A and B are shown apart, each in its own frame.
Chain A
Amino acid sequence: MPVETHAIPGARFMDPTVLARIGNLELVARAVVDGFINGLHKAPYFGASVDFAEHRGYVPGDDIRRMDWKLWARTDRYYIKEYEAESNMNFSVLLDASKSMDYGTKGITKFEYARILTACLTNLVHHQRDRVGFVAFDSEVLEHVPPSAKHMETVLHVLDRLKPGRPGNLKGPLHKLAEHFGRRGVLVVISDFYEEPESILEAISPLRFRGNDLIVFHLLDPTEIEFGFNDAQPFEDLESGEQMPVVPEAFREEYRSLVKAHIDALTQSFSAVRVDYTMLDTSKPLDHALNRYLNSRARTMKIR
């Protein structure tokens, strides 16, 4: 199947700050994804076939159009044909829209980066004929777009008007959402994960109970990693409003080691439960994230 490409040359290497200036998420997503796919030189359209899988006995209520009449003629029994096409996956992005995500020092906030990333992934999956869904949460579920092949536009629309504003909490909304993802699929969680690794794991784990594949993107601003402040100033927590006097040069090394330990702990924890964890720096181009996703999908397919 020919691939429609409206690639912007080199778009996948584009600086996220430049992408952030493009208001139309669809355009951004298409530009990034198409360019990305072109670069891969690999047909991404799998799972859309109508290949026969198996027969099963007819039960009242089955669509008689799916009846195998030839087999009936031979055996005088009613059988229904089942196809692989019905196994197309659900793809949902769970985006953390808490206040802490509304932070950025390099021209783009974590939330804007996450939004672009969500749009790109959704666009990419949509191209694969998978069903796309979207969930935004902070301490509660803010937006919920159920997975559907027709929800691409809805997701982009919801993404476009979403604004972070409240303190976040992973456990509550994610536990609640786990009940909704009854069908196996791919769930992508995008958050800055400002909680203890154990709490994060506890919050995330229920999402896997139904056999969902989990991909976790840990978004951080470079400043959150490097702590590149100089002057002693009072710091205010974006979510709690708590203020603390901070002398960065005295705190820096310890802060860095704590963040590194946090990331290491998350890497280790997610790895243990076979969750694909990626730490993303908002200064880095988006292709890293997309690549990570595709690799993850490839692994999933192999396993299947």
Chain B
Amino acid sequence: MQFLAPLFFVALAGLAIPVLLHLTQREKKQIIHFPSLMFVRRIPYEAVRRRKIHNWLLLMVRLAALALIVLAFSRPLFSRTNQAPPPGAGAREVVILVDNSYSMGYGDHWERAVAAARQQIGTLHASDRGSVVLFASSADILMRATAEQDRLGAAVASAKPRFSSTRYAPALKVAGSILSESALPRREVVLISDFQRGGWRGEEGARLPKGVTLTPVAIQGGADRPNVTVTGLSIARSTFSNQERATVTAGVLNRSERPVSGASIVLEVGGIPIGTKPLAIDPSGAASVSFDAFTINAKNMRGTVRVSDDALAADNTFNFVISPSEPVHLTVVDRGSATSTLYLTRALSIGDAPRFDVISREPDAVSDDDLKKSAVVVLNDVEVGTGLARRLTKYVDQGGGLFVATGSRATWPQDVDALPATIGPPVDRTRGDVGRVGALEYGHPIFEVFRAPRSGDFSAVPIYSYRNLTAAKGAQVLARFDGGSPAVLERKIGAGRIVMWGSSLDRSWSELPQRPVYLPFVHRTVRHLANYREPQPWVTVGQVLDPSATAVLRGQRMILTPSGKRVPIEDEGSDVVELSDQGFYELRGENQNVTVVAVNVDPAESDLTPMDPKEIVAAAAGLSGSGDTSTASGVPMTPEQTEKNQRLWWYLLCGGIMLLAVDTYLSNRLAKT
């Protein structure tokens, strides 16, 4: 017999009430006046005599009535143990989910998890089948649906913790898919994990099939050492004596209830310790450690911040990669007039990330070498001849970026189809209402920064004249003037892009250069055209690396993982690599170009705060862990059968009420006597 609401048994404490009433209530009746208590006082008074129960029958009736009512509310449920099991009943399909996230490396958790998995394997009978699934952020089936315990045991023995974070939902989904294909009557999932709170983000659709039993095996318990985590780094660049320097500040968190003292934290660059600091943190405390600045004298310098060994080793190191900052080279093609390029060059001279290295050329002076060095070419309201147009088209096709500003002088040969729009006649808006820019594509990288309120208002910029642009085929209009004419357009040519602005970049046609939106507009446009990406000092395990997204890797063919494994990159097809190890990934190309990516574990995984496994059981398999409408034999019951099995509460309640009626009758009779 089971109970749907066993918490109601707490109400059994109420059985003490009638007993107390029987013992105490009668003494609270009418006071007897007696001439003298002289003789009564002489009789030894024993308190226990007061507690004598006078009406056992009445008491028993009351207790029985209360007990029956409590039993009724606890909703007893009969299992169908008396039914003959269907053919093959007893054979089990067991999926053993073993958490091998890096938090399982805490203390002896992994050894205990392996032992628990082996114990589960040992319970399998000859007719049972078992599967072993390792899971962290994703789930891997080590052994699927086999009755061979040796193979299952070997699979568990070969497993070891990964560097990934815990997520339960993928594992439960995999278990559900294995069990849904099984024909065995009893289907079970055993979830062996440290049950970190951070690994459960709600149900996430991880619902096991009906009739599946989910048994959690919690691997928890403290270790005898503290657990310190390097949660992140802050790298501040500075220039000293024409050399770029970096100052690293590490954030450290003590996630245990033990204080950390006598430990040290080390900064290594290129594998060589260059700074060591003592470390002392209170229980559950945090600390920030700054190291002395070091010179960034080479590309892809590998750095690591490392704390002393503790209960969980994986979160003790934090890797990063740092390189000297590189400017974006661009060529501004203009008429050679200082006034026409004043605002543009001033705008491009501002900024560190990235810096812009600008060279100015007149249209006739643009050389192939200039184009080769430049990531972006800016045509600042100039007349472009056919030759230059063809060279620029080729330049863009090979991956370059072209920014075209169309003022009063801008021309483009009609026989070169490259620009996003054909340049029409000027539109004079000096009379009447001035022109405004609106209908911005805020989803585009150029205008994304203006999306938030009070982040720049293009509509407030007066445009006195602009060229009537007609969008070309394949061009995307990113903004329009208030008259409907395209204001900003983009077109992809080969590997490069062309962005076209329908007015001038100086003050001749608009007040844009004097408005706050000018600087970010120019910067974002150039960065977009140069395909500039801010260098990431590190990434987290579980992220993917797209070699094709890195310009340096064009033509590269191989990735070297932290464990020394070489992964060739296919020319076609999937060339995305999942970063699954902690350490440094090297991306090597044909020309000995190397890009290094530092990979760190997710520091959130080192938070071992446990959750109640019942929460997962309730979400994935229902409250009882075995499915609320299934039986031990795994055969789902109909609603009528379910109701029938739970009907006992009704009889218990009726019995309780009848006993209360008897109690009333007896009480009245006793009162009369």
B-contacting residues of A (Cβ < 8 Å)? 100-101, 103, 110, 192, 194-195, 221, 224, 229, 231-240, 242-247, 250-251, 254-255, 258-259, 262
CB distance from B470 to the nearest CB of A (A): 109
Are B37 and A237 touching (Cβ within 8 A)?
yes
B43 within 8 A of A: yes
Are A238 and B33 touching (Cβ within 8 A)?
yes
Using Cβ atoms and an 8 Å threshold, which residues of chain B touch A231? 26, 29, 54
Are A235 and B31 touching (Cβ within 8 A)?
yes
A-contacting residues of B (Cβ < 8 Å)? 26-27, 29-43, 45, 49-50, 52, 54
CB distance from A279 to the nearest CB of B (A): 15
Knowing A232-B26, A262-B39, the reply to whether A250 touches B31 (Cβ < 8 A) is no
Are A194 and B35 touching (Cβ within 8 A)?
yes
List 7 A–B pairs whose Cβ atoms lie within 8 Å, in order of A's numbering: A232-B54, A237-B36, A245-B27, A245-B45, A247-B50, A254-B43, A258-B43
**Residue of A with least CB distance to B29:** A233
Using Cβ atoms and an 8 Å threshold, which residues of chain B touch A250? 49, 52
Knowing A235-B31, A235-B34, A236-B31, the reply to whether A251 touches B40 (Cβ < 8 A) is yes
Are A239 and B32 touching (Cβ within 8 A)?
no
Dominant secondary structure at the B interface:
mixed
Are B34 and A236 touching (Cβ within 8 A)?
yes
CB distance from B477 to the nearest CB of A (A): 98
Which of B26, B29, B30, B33 counts the most chain A CB atoms within 10 A?
B33
Using Cβ atoms and an 8 Å threshold, which residues of chain A touch B38? 194-195
**Residue of B with least CB distance to A234:** B31
Using Cβ atoms and an 8 Å threshold, which residues of chain A touch B40? 235, 244, 246, 251, 255
Are A192 and B35 touching (Cβ within 8 A)?
yes
CB distance from B123 to the nearest CB of A (A): 60
Which of B26, B36, B39, B42 counts the most chain A CB atoms within 10 A?
B36
Are A239 and B36 touching (Cβ within 8 A)?
yes
Using Cβ atoms and an 8 Å threshold, which residues of chain A touch B34? 103, 224, 235-238
Are B26 and A233 touching (Cβ within 8 A)?
yes
Are A238 and B32 touching (Cβ within 8 A)?
no
Bound together, the chains give a CA A110 to CA B35 distance in angstroms of 10
Bound together, the chains give a CA A141 to CA B84 distance in angstroms of 96
Bound together, the chains give a CA A194 to CA B34 distance in angstroms of 12
Among B37, B42, B49, B54, contact of A235 (Cβ-Cβ < 8 Å): B37
Using Cβ atoms and an 8 Å threshold, which residues of chain A touch B41? 244
Knowing A245-B50, A246-B40, A247-B50, the reply to whether A233 touches B31 (Cβ < 8 A) is yes
Question: Once A and B bind, how many residue pairs between them come within 8 Å at the CB atom?
Answer: 82
Are A243 and B35 touching (Cβ within 8 A)?
no
Are B35 and A238 touching (Cβ within 8 A)?
yes
**Residue of B with least CB distance to A230:** B54
Which of B39, B45, B52 counts the most chain A CB atoms within 10 A?
B39
Are A259 and B27 touching (Cβ within 8 A)?
no
Are A258 and B39 touching (Cβ within 8 A)?
yes
Are A242 and B43 touching (Cβ within 8 A)?
no
Are B43 and A255 touching (Cβ within 8 A)?
yes
**Residue of B with least CB distance to A254:** B43
Among B30, B36, B49, contact of A100 (Cβ-Cβ < 8 Å): B36
CB distance from B49 to the nearest CB of A (A): 5
Are A242 and B26 touching (Cβ within 8 A)?
no
Bound together, the chains give a CA A259 to CA B37 distance in angstroms of 11
Are A232 and B27 touching (Cβ within 8 A)?
yes
Using Cβ atoms and an 8 Å threshold, which residues of chain B touch A221? 35
Are B35 and A259 touching (Cβ within 8 A)?
no
Are A243 and B36 touching (Cβ within 8 A)?
no
Are B50 and A233 touching (Cβ within 8 A)?
no
Bound together, the chains give a CA A235 to CA B31 distance in angstroms of 6
Are A232 and B36 touching (Cβ within 8 A)?
no
Which of A110, A234, A246, A255 counts the most chain B CB atoms within 10 A?
A246
Using Cβ atoms and an 8 Å threshold, which residues of chain A touch B45? 244-245
Are B36 and A194 touching (Cβ within 8 A)?
yes
Among B27, B35, B37, contact of A233 (Cβ-Cβ < 8 Å): B27
CB distance from A36 to the nearest CB of B (A): 29
**Residue of B with least CB distance to A110:** B35
Using Cβ atoms and an 8 Å threshold, which residues of chain A touch B26? 231-233
**Residue of A with least CB distance to B36:** A194
Among B33, B39, B42, B49, contact of A236 (Cβ-Cβ < 8 Å): B33
Bound together, the chains give a CA A279 to CA B37 distance in angstroms of 19
Are B36 and A229 touching (Cβ within 8 A)?
no
Which of B26, B29, B43 counts the most chain A CB atoms within 10 A?
B43
8 cross-chain pairs, A with B, having the tightest CB-CB distances, nearest first:
A100-B35, A194-B36, A258-B39, A103-B35, A237-B37, A250-B49, A235-B34, A254-B43
CB distance from A171 to the nearest CB of B (A): 16
Are B37 and A242 touching (Cβ within 8 A)?
yes
Among A101, A195, A229, A244, contact of B37 (Cβ-Cβ < 8 Å): A244
Bound together, the chains give a CA A238 to CA B72 distance in angstroms of 51
Which of A232, A238, A243, A255 counts the most chain B CB atoms within 10 A?
A232
Using Cβ atoms and an 8 Å threshold, which residues of chain A touch B37? 235, 237, 240, 242, 244
**Residue of B with least CB distance to A241:** B33
CB distance from B670 to the nearest CB of A (A): 11
Bound together, the chains give a CA A268 to CA B41 distance in angstroms of 24
CB distance from A168 to the nearest CB of B (A): 10
Bound together, the chains give a CA A17 to CA B30 distance in angstroms of 25
